[in-house]
Amino acid sequence: MSGLFITLEGGDGVGKSTQAELLERWLTARERTVLRTREPGGTDVGEQIREIVLHHRGDIAPRAEALLYAADRAHHIATKVRPALEAGSVVVQDRYIDSSVAYQGAGRVLSGDTIRDLSLWAVDGLLPDLTVLLDLDEASARQRLDAAEKRFDRLEAEKQEFHARVRAAYLELAASDARFLVVDAARAPEEIAAEIRGRVEQLLD
């Protein structure tokens, strides 16, 4: 594939959407065709799954939750992301496989390896060229979410211990894989965006 696949990862409240928007603007200014998307969601089917996994009232069994995310991912990659990459576009995506490993694997205390294998099967092995991990301690991230005065989804509403496990899992993933760029998400958004652009420019060149 001739395109470039970039994913943004991190806990809730770290600023992924902001950075995805800034990166899309910069790439568009460089006359690159950009697909900006997200998981869960990104397709009509995915938006219905998103509503279930994030806003369903009541419990969802951890394994069922993991399978719902994998189903969303399989459809999203097959119908939207892979065609965009094959056409030469830059895909900027909010969350991907690493989110499932962190949230369902560590957060829900399922096997991270099993979750990763499930997702890789769902997407026929597709991995990003670059994964930007926006790292922020869970207490600071919660303060940001509180300040936003929005309704928490099922995962945002989890206790601090859950989010601590998620952050630790992310950092462990990043330490073992060269495709990660770990960025201090406590800094100003434009400083973060400049660091991300520096790495993306290397890949474009």
Give 98-145 pLDDT, tens digit per residue.
Answer: 999 999 999 898 999 999 999 999 999 999 999 999 999 999 988 998
Mean pLDDT of 196-201: 98
Residue 122, Cα to own-chain centre: how many angstroms? 16
Give 7-61 pLDDT, tens digit per residue.
Answer: 999 999 999 999 999 999 999 999 999 999 999 999 999 999 999 999 998 899 9
75-79, 133-137, 157-161, 163-167: the lowest-pLDDT one: 157-161
Give 184-193 pLDDT, tens digit per residue.
Answer: 999 999 999 9
**Could you give the CA distance from residue 28 to residue 32 in angstroms, rounded to a whole number?**
5
Domains of the chain: 4-204 (3.40.50.300)
State which amino acid sits at residue 157.
Answer: A
Residue ranges of the alpha helices (H) in the chain?
16-29, 44-55, 62-76, 82-86, 97-100, 112-122, 138-148, 160-175, 189-204
* Confidence class for position 151, pLDDT limits 50, 70, 90: confident
Q: How far is CA 54 from CA 59, 60, 94, 183, in A?
A: 11, 10, 15, 26
Specify the pLDDT at position 1.
64
DSSP state of 89: P
